Amino acid sequence: MRTLGAVLLMLALTAARADDAGETRELLGMLGGRAALMTLYANPRPDGSARLTGQYLILPTLLQRFLEGERSKQLGVTFLKEGTSPILYGRPATATLQGTWNGGVFKGTRYGPGGQERERFEFNEKFPDMTRYSAEVRCEPGEGRYSSTLDLAVHDGRLQRLAWSSRVAPAGHICALKTAEQQPVEGGLRFVAGRCRVTLRDLGELVRVSAEDCAEHCGSLAYLEPVLIDRRGGCQLLRLNSR
* Per-residue confidence (pLDDT) for residue 10, from 0 to 100: 38
In a domain? residue 130: no
Question: Could you tell me if 116 and 165 lie in one domain?
Answer: no
Indicate the pTM of the whole model. 0.83
Choose the final residue of a domain: 89, 124, 159.
Answer: 124
Q: What is the mean pLDDT of residues 72-100?
A: 90
Question: Does 242 map to a domain?
Answer: no
pLDDT in tens, 2-61: 443 333 333 333 333 334 458 999 999 999 999 999 999 999 999 999 999 999 999 979
Q: What is the end-to-end Cα distance of the chain in Å, rounded? A: 43
Domain final residue, candidates 97, 124, 151: 124
Instruction: Give the tens place of pLDDT for each residue, 92-134.
Output: 889 999 999 999 999 999 999 989 999 999 999 999 999 999 9
- Give the chain's domain count: 2
Assess whether pLDDT exceeds 60 at residue 169.
Answer: yes
| 183 and 147 part of one domain | yes
Between CA 43 and CA 25 the distance in angstroms is 11
Question: For 136-143, what is the mean pLDDT?
Answer: 96
Same domain, 8 and 30: yes
Residue 133, classified by CB atoms within 10 Å of its CB into exposed (0-12), middle (13-18) or buried (19+), is: middle
Residue 199 in any domain: the answer is yes
Task: Find the mean pLDDT for residues 218-234.
Answer: 94
Query: Residue 218: pLDDT above 80?
Result: yes
Domain that holds residue 63: 2-124
Q: Tell me the average pLDDT across 180-185.
A: 93
| Mean pLDDT, range 192-198, rounded to an integer | 96
pLDDT at 2: 40
Structure confidence by residue, pLDDT tens digits, 196-217: 999 999 999 999 999 999 999 9
pLDDT, mean of residues 211-226 = 95
**pLDDT of 19:** 40
The whole-number pLDDT of residue 241 equals: 57
Q: How far apart are CA 138 and CA 141, in angstroms?
A: 10
